Every structure is written in C-alpha cells, then in structure tokens.
Amino acid sequence: MKTLFISGNDTDVGKTHVGTALVARLIAQGHRCVARKPIETGCDETAQGLIPSDAEAYYHACQQQFPLAEICPLRYVPAISPERAIRLAGETIHVCELVDLCQPATAADYLIVEGAGGLYSPLCSDGLNADLAQALDAQVLLVIGDRLGCINQTLLCLEALQQRHLKPVAVILNQVQLDDTPSMDNFDDLTRRLSLPVIIFPHASAPQQSSDDALSAITYLLESSNYE
C-alpha cells in the first residue's frame, strides 16, 4: 500500500480540492483507494451531528464506499487549529491515535491522508501535521496556494520536509484565484529553483482538460514512485 500525505503551505490553499480530485482519478483507474481526514475543525452543527465538509468531499470522491465516520472520526465546531480545539474540549489526542484511525479497514492500493492547515500547523496534543506524515511513513504532496509570497513558504516547507527525511512527490501550485498580476509567475520562479516536479492545478473555472492533465501528471508520479 502506498501512503500519501496531503499537506500545504497554509490553510485554504486547496488541499481538499486537489486531494478529492486525485482520489476520484485513482478510483476511476481501478485502484483501491482509501481516504482519511482524521481530524477536522469548523464542522457544521446539524440534526445529524457534526458534518465535516472536507471529509464529506472525500466521502463522495470515494463513491460513498466508506462510512464518513471512518474518513473523519474526530470533529470539532470551532474553526481553529485542531490542537487548540482538542484542548478546549478537554481532550487529549496523540499522534499514535491518529495513525491508528488512518489505517484502512480493507486492503488498499493507496491510502490518501489529508492534514489540517499547513505542514507545521498543530494537529493534535503532541504533534504537527509533519509528525503524522512521519508516523505514517508517507510521502508528501505539497499543495501551494499560487499567490504572492508562496515562493518563500514553499522553500521553507521543502526545507522542513528535508530535515525530517520526508520525501515530497511534487509541489502542486494550486491556482486559488484568477491571475490578476500578469507579471507574477510563481511556476517559472519555482521550477527554476527546484529539481522537484512542480505541477499547476488550474482554477476551478479552467477547462476540464487542464485539471485532467494535472491529475495525469500526479498519478504518473505516484505510480512510478518506488515507495510502499
């Protein structure tokens, strides 16, 4: 089983947008794919309980094969860091518990785990997102919001991954906003500095073919990668 941890340079950079599209593509290709968003904050309060919107997107990407409770077992209302939400709830949750919650109940080719916030955002009582990625022995798909300031954040994230001996599969430059600064080209600036693949994930308004091309590039890297 290949384990991929989806992280980013910040919150709201499109991790779920990229992750769910990737899960749907892998399943369409015939792979057994399990998705996990083990902890989510900012959940909606409903008569049916707390609804985690990101995890719900993975639930549908997985074609509703797995219960939402398996995808996201830990849910909190405040839209704050998971570690703080846990603390305010008077609870303690350790990285090792998150690892257990991420394990598939059935055989899988891919385990896709999405964190919360950025790579170094506090995720639980004793760890950051990066700590969970390490504990899962996962490779990392680094989603970067394509906007001013992202080059510095990307390089810092990659340096952190290197220090922790975590292998990034690629940098996904997610176009979170329509280009309103024609002279800015973060893709060019990053590709000139990195030996790692940089893939543009197009804005939601872009033609479907652009997203398909990006997903094809990501799945090719995953399938050709020699990790288990």
Which tokens sit at 40?
């989510």
Q: How far is CA 21 from CA 17, 61, 195, 201, in A?
A: 6, 7, 25, 10
What amino acid is encoded at 89 in this protein? A
CA distance 200 to 119: 19
Active site residues: 37
Q: In the structure encoding, which two tokens stand for residue 35, read together?
A: 């998705």
Q: How many CA atoms lie less than 13 Å away from 139 in the CB half-sphere? A: 19
DSSP secondary structure string, 110-144? EEEEE-SSSTTSEEETTEEHHHHHHHTT-EEEEEE
